[in-house]
Structure 1
Amino acid sequence: MKKIYNILFTLIAVLSFTSCSNDIDEVFDKPSAERVNDAIAEYKTVLTSAENGWLMKYYPKANTKYGGYNLLLKFGTDGNVTAMSDALGADTKATSHYKLEQSASIVLSFDEYNKVIHFFSDPANPDGIGDNGKGMEGDLEFRVLTATADSVVMLGKKRGTKIVMTPMAKDADWAETISQIDGLEQEMQFPRYTCEVNDVKYVATSSYRTITFTSSNAEEGSTTEPYIVTDKGIEFYKPITLNGVTIKGFNYKGGDNYEFESTDAAVKMLGVVPPISEQVISGDWFFSVANMGSYTQAYWNAGNEKVSKYYSPCLFAAFTTSAFNDYAGHWGIFFNVAGYASFIDITPTIVDDDHISFACPGKFNANGQYFYSWGQLYMIYALTGDEGSHAAGVAKTYKIELLEGTSKQPSSIKLTDESNPNNWFVLTTSMPESLF
């Protein structure tokens, strides 16, 4: 009897194995290499079939701290891709090589330098964004999850951020598209915003295409959310929740109240135009030694000469809020010295609508400590110190004048030392070609 059971068991096992083998043969009717080649060919056909290219919603860093950017990409059958982005503007277009390859999955790789695309991955970001040696930490390789004529969904190979591409309309002009997005972004920029959700009030500020909502409810605290600029307003990387209400984004309506309307809920957000003294410390303002008084120029030139002897000349300087991982949230002067970020804290005090004072608390990031001692202290003396004692930390008060732009969007302002008319400097929202 036992022998019969053994024979039956063996027959069942053989039949089961045969049945499974047939199923596998039906599923994998081609060798793996051939299946990979077929998938690559299929994805390339999808990429190259978009007549006017694709709009990519690109988020460079894993924690999306720099927000999202619009890239326009046209893939050719010759293995080249042409790119334009709202980060560099409608005047900049670049063409380079791309490839699709197998690496645990099908990967789209931008394997040749492209000024537009590599802006987000260059360890020395051209605009000085991010930590030195890291930049914006964007991906150049993307795992393809799905690819159809309607959309391509990918994940950054290193950072894991979700990337979505949709086809551009056939009649859409690339330059006009980017210019429209850039123009709307400028129009939507305010030093701060306010909104109310179910009787809870929020104050919001924006930086690097992220917006921080701070609740009047202390228990809720604040949340920082990345977004991308669209042709209608802003779209969040993921839907956000404010006081129990889910919001996907805001459309900008404008008007006398500078109104934003949520795209999927009855929530309104308003842009706020504060006094110009507040705007000095809520935006990015660039220095230019050519636009300084004689007293100010003397100190900045002396400081740069000393820094140059130790290391290299300063390339640009700006009042800004630090976005560096190890020094985030500090406000002061950011110096770019041959790609190295020197940050020196400045303590601002708003005196009234058009007066502000500055003091130096003696705090720096790691690089700032060295560059300050090597010569940047002279620049800080002009801003906050006393001519006789050269003591950093002595506050100086400045009168602020609007030179260019509007009260909503000032683009150039002049600050004059109340105690020394020869100590003045002009700040601009656009970076000059050079600091010196």
Structure 2
Amino acid sequence: MKLKYSIFAFLLPVLLFSGCKREEDPIFDQNASSKMTEAIAHAYEVLQGNSEGWVMKFYPSDNQEFGGYTIFTKFTSNAEVVVASDAVEAPEISTYAVVHDSGPVLTFNGYNKAIHWFSEPGMDNGGVFTDPNEGIGADDTGMKGDFEFIVLAATPDSVVLKGKKSGTEVVMFPLGANEFEQQASLYREAAIRFSQFGVFKLEDASGEMLDLPYSSPIRIFRNPKDASGKQMSFRVVPDGLDFYEEQEMEGVTFKILKFVEPTSAYPYGYYTNDNTTFKIVPDVTPLNLWFVSKEWYMAYSKVGPTGRAYWDNARMTLESNGLQLNEFSIGSIAGLSGVTSYLLNNYTIGGLITHNLVPVPGTTDQVRISLAGSIYTYTGMTFGVAYWNAGLNQFTTPFNNRTFVITTLDALDRPKSILLTDTQIATNTFELTLDAITDPFNN
């Protein structure tokens, strides 16, 4: 009995304390709910309070591995927002809300490319400064960006946000009169100018030109003289480059590099520090490297006289075997470099034939093509040597063991259309495009 009483005496204060707590909960909940309601209302008031809008430096990943961007927002009502970015062509209108979550949360709940591009999976985010078929980041996570942000503080001078997923802190600053339109346009123009180039050189303090590691379109450089491979993450701004943190190169520290307009010595301009100790010089991507790294589509109407004779033979042989060609491409396809791809009979038959696509040493515009001969089958389709012998081999003949000069048909750098011209047979030409072509015999 004494033991039972001892236990009861120990439990009684706990039960009494719990009972008291339950009586106070409604008041506590009411106070918390009231404070949250006030915080949400205050966030709405501040966001809309500056009718000219807000600007933020946005590094989507928490370790800045994809570089930075500039985003402009203008909250026109409790539901509508205009968002612009240096990564999209024009401002877009969508919906937003400030909701009760882990604190007041600003959510861009209506799709808007200017902000949602950074959170799209890599398999879906191609097309902004890239080939539409080339995404940025992993297929599932993309650039790891946010479109929902915890509002940490909101005043007319700044709105401090924290990415709900990434934990990255972002600060929005108020814009002045007409700055939303003007600044968004200037940042977009600077980004377009920068994105024209996929190759950059470092002209060091001695004047020597070195390859500057850069992987377009990710806004990160790596100092070729730094063995650690440290990333130098930056944003593109109207007058140059603004780095995430202070950097050191060629014995000087800097955070901003200014852009110097083109001259005869530097036809594409360059980026440099205040004392012009070094220069980061843009250059065009070598056409032969650009060619071997992409998937290029072909059509009968874009083939020269020499090649057409082989295409005619291919068509007759394919038809006699009950086959119809849906797509034909060459380049880097399905993760393999140096292949031709064939899709037939309404995409039920398809595979890859390996080729050697080798840039000619010492040139920027010549490539040597030869048959390698390995065969791969697309998942869910049929393919094999039988189809190669049923007419597909005719397509390779005018390419095999030939050297071609590559010329661009549109953009100066990273073109979408190119022409291959045989160095020995002038009529052996192929006009190729990055845009998919279906039914190539009738295009």
Shorter-chain TM-score range = 0.5 to 0.7
User: Could you tell me how far 1:398 is from its partner in structure 2?
Assistant: 1.3
Tell me what 2:204 maps to.
Answer: 196
Partner of 2:220: 211
The structural deviation recorded for 1:89 is: 0.4
Letter in 1 for 2:204: E
TM-score scaled by structure 2?
A: 0.65
Classify 1:76/1:353 alpha carbon distance in 2 versus 1 (closer, same or farther; 3 Å): closer
Shift in Å, 1:106? 2.8
- How much does 1:50 deviate? 2.1
Given that 1:89 and 1:178 are in contact with CA atoms closer than 8 Å, whether structure 2 keeps it comes out as no
The one of 405, 409, 421 aligned to 1:399: 405
- Find the counterpart in structure 1 of residue 419 from structure 2: 414
SS at match of 2:204: strand
Paired residue secondary structure (2:38) = helix
Number of the residue aligned with 1:225: 232
Q: Which residue of 1 aligns with 2:58?
A: 58
Q: Does 2:156 match 1:146?
A: no
Aligned residues: 373
* Alignment pair present for 1:356 and 2:367: yes
Q: Does 1:70 align with 2:70?
A: yes
Closer, same or farther: CA 186–289 of 1 in aligned 2, 3 Å? farther
Matching of residue 85 in structure 1 with residue 94 in structure 2: no
Distance 1:54 1:332, change over 3 A: farther
Offset of 1:399 from its aligned partner?
0.8
Counterpart position of 2:278: 268
Whether the 8 Å CA contact 1:94–1:116 is kept in 2: the answer is yes
Counterparts of 1:97-176 in structure 2, within 5 Å, are 97-123=95-121, 124-125=124-125, 127-128=132-133, 129-130=135-136, 131-172=138-179, 174=181, 176=182
Whole-angstrom distance in 1 between the partners of 2:340 and 2:51: 44
Structure 2 CA distance for aligned equivalents of residues 318 and 45 of structure 1: 56
Shift of 1:235: 1.6
**Could you say what the CA RMSD is over the residues aligned between the two structures, in angstroms?**
5.0
Residue type of the alignment partner of 2:219: T
* Contact residue 67 and residue 233 of structure 2 kept, 8 A: yes
Question: For residues 244 and 120 of structure 1, what CA distance do their matches in structure 2 show?
Answer: 35
8 Å CA contact retained: 1:253, 1:261: yes
Does the 8 Å CA contact 1:202/1:214 hold for their aligned counterparts?
Answer: no
Deviations 1:16-69 (A, max 9, x none): xxxxxxxxxxxx9x9222222222222222211222222233333444443333
Secondary structure of 2:409's aligned partner:
strand
Q: Is the 8 A contact 1:403 1:412 kept in 2?
A: yes
TM-score, with structure 1 as normaliser:
0.66
Aligned residues of 2:53 and 2:72 also touching (Cα < 8 A): yes
Q: 1:192 to 1:281 in 2, by over 3 A?
A: farther
Match of 1:18 in 2: none
Superimposed CA distance per residue, residues 106-139 of structure 1 (whole angstroms, 9 cap, x where no aligned partner): 3211122334433333332253413444444432
The CA deviation at 1:216 is 3.9
Change (3 A) 1:356 1:234: same
Alignment correspondent of 2:16:
none
Change (3 A) 1:208 1:32: same
| SS of equivalent residue, structure 1 residue 46 | helix
- 2:257 and 2:273 in contact (8 A); partners too: yes
Residues 67 and 272 (structure 1), Cα distance of their counterparts in 2 relative to 1, 3 Å cut? closer
Unaligned runs of 5+ in 2: 1-27, 127-131, 319-325, 439-443
Tell me how far 1:253 sits from its aligned partner.
Answer: 1.0
Q: Equivalent residue of 1:226, what SS?
A: strand
Q: Deviations over 1:143-188 (max 9, x none)?
A: 23333323333232112334332223312362x5444333323433
| Cα offset, 1:386, TM superposition | 7.2
Question: Which residue in the other structure is 2:441 paired with?
Answer: none
Aligned identity (percent) is 25
Question: Structure 1 residues 114, 270: closer, same or farther in 2, change over 3 A?
Answer: closer
State how far apart, in whole Å, the 2-side matches of 1:376 and 1:148 are. 66
Contact kept in structure 2, 1:396 and 1:417, CA below 8 Å:
yes
- Distance change >3 Å, CA 361–CA 135, structure 1 → 2: farther
Aligned CA distance change for structure 1 residues 259 and 113 (closer, same or farther; 3 Å): closer
Asked if the contact 2:120–2:143 (Cα under 8 Å) also holds between the matched residues in 1, the reply is: yes
Q: 1:319 to 1:80 in 2, by over 3 A?
A: farther
The secondary structure found in structure 2 opposite 1:33 is helix
1:212–1:222 CA contact under 8 A, matched in 2: no
Task: State the partner residue of 2:259.
Answer: 252
Write the deviation string for residues 391-414 of structure 1: whole angstroms up to 9, x where unpaired.
9x96642112243455x7867542
Q: Is the 8 A contact 2:360 2:367 kept in 1?
A: yes
